[in-house]
Amino acid sequence: MLDRSKIGHEFPCFSADVEKGRLKFFAKAIGETNPIYTDEEAAKEAGYRALPAPPTFTAVLDQESPEFLPVLGLLDIDIAKILHGSQAFEYLAPICAGDRIRVDTRISDIFDKKGGALEFVVMEHCYTNQDDVLTTRATSTLVVRNG
Amino acid sequence: MSDVQVGTEIPPLKFPPISRYTLALYAGASGDHNPIHIDSDFAKNAGMPDVFAHGMLSMAYLGRMLTNWRSQASLRKFENRFAAITQLQDVITCSGRVAEIIEREGETLARCEIQAAKANGEQTLVGEALVAV
């Protein structure tokens, strides 16, 4: 059983730069064809100050953490046993190339189903930009397959 | 706006078959280097038939469908659960429809039911989005 006393745990916050090249690479990886995600002129014509980060890119910022998936070490979870259960984003302000985003993450819940065969870790994430504007809130659920 | 009503279909998007190349690119671009998505030996040792797609890759596909339909600036909420694993060679189609028009904080929002599904109809992602209209 995962350590329920870690509910409420706050991971050390970190900051990540939203790099133009990374956004273009991400756009390529998801097959994006809308030029506002790869062409700065098109982005500006569409009203963005720089290339916008697409809707799921905030989850990429989580991976900029100094330790890869720090929840695994905290709760002693084997990376081979995890699945992504759910993901939710609430958008408050855009994220664009050149931004520096602070990522705050806490564990909001840990629970199990099927007599402990599946355990769930719910994490809440806040993404705040260099002007101290909260841009995005996210909730992610990690599923741990036991046995 | 009158062009978005309950029942309006979001133009669907169909993607090429998921390949190892797709997953390698996404691993690099997303920073999600979990070997279960890119190393067949690791995946098999973990009890999986082979490497499988990142859930967030399919969510990014759903995001593409949404931002093709309405500008990203009008997207307020976007959420889904991951209902089934997307395997190599699966052909994913994203689709959705407006389920409800609601008023919230002075804005008119379309609550859209969205999904990603395999060619056989099996849903892989099921969720919803709130889009200002």
Q: Which tens digits make up the pLDDT trace of B26-76?
A: 999 999 999 999 999 999 999 999 999 999 999 999 999 999 999 999 999
Q: Which residues of A touch B79 (CB under 8 A)?
A: 86-89, 139
Checking if the pLDDT of B105 tops 80, the result is yes
Residue B32: predicted pLDDT: 95
Kindly give the confidence (pLDDT) of every residue in chain A, 147 residues in length, as a single tens digit, with 9 standing for 90 and above: 999 999 999 999 999 999 999 999 999 999 999 999 999 999 999 999 999 999 999 999 999 999 989 999 999 999 999 999 999 999 999 999 999 999 999 999 999 999 999 999 999 999 999 999 999 999 999 999 997
Between CA A51 and CA A42 the distance in angstroms is 9
- Minimum-distance CB partner of B63 among A56, A86, A94: A56
Q: Which residues of A touch B28 (CB under 8 A)?
A: 25, 29
One-letter identity of residue A78: D
Give residue for tokens 């980060």.
A53
Q: Chain A: nearest CA to B6, how far in angstroms? A: 22
Between CA A90 and CA B114 the distance in angstroms is 16
Q: Which residues of B touch A136 (CB under 8 A)?
A: none
Backbone angles phi and psi of B107, in degrees to 5: -115, 150
Instruction: Decide: B30 and B56 in contact? Cβ < 8 Å.
Output: yes
Share of chain A above pLDDT 90, in %: 97
Residue B2: predicted pLDDT: 57
List domains and CATH numbers for chain A. 4-18+54-145 (3.10.129.10)
Is B77 within 8 Å of A88 when comparing Cβ atoms? Answer: yes
Query: What does each C-alpha distance from B90 to B104, B120, B121 come to in angstroms?
Result: 38, 9, 11
Instruction: Decide: A63 and B31 in contact? Cβ < 8 Å.
Output: yes
Q: Is the dihedral of CA A93, A97, A103, A108 positive or negative?
A: positive
Q: Which tens digits make up the pLDDT trace of B74-99?
A: 999 999 999 999 999 999 999 999 99
Residue A120, classified by CB atoms within 10 Å of its CB into exposed (0-12), middle (13-18) or buried (19+), is middle
Instruction: Decide: B92 and B63 in contact? Cβ < 8 Å.
Output: no
Q: Is B54 on the interface with A (CB under 8 A)?
A: yes
**HEC assignment per residue over B5-59:** CCCCEEEEEECCCCCHHHHHHHHHHHCCCCHHHCCHHHHHHCCCCCCECCHHHHH
- Minimum-distance CB partner of B75 among A32, A91, A141: A91
**In the 8-state DSSP scheme, what is residue A4?**
G
Q: Chain B: nearest CA to A86, how far in angstroms? A: 4
When pLDDT is cut at 50, 70 and 90, the band that residue B3 belongs to is confident
- Minimum-distance CB partner of B80 among A63, A87, A91: A87
Q: Is B26 on the interface with A (CB under 8 A)?
A: yes
pTM for this model (two decimals): 0.97
ipTM of the complex: 0.96
- Minimum-distance CB partner of A60 among B31, B67, B80: B31
Share of chain A above pLDDT 70, in %: 99
> What mean pLDDT do residues B102-107 have?
94
Residue of A nearest to B45 (CA): A80
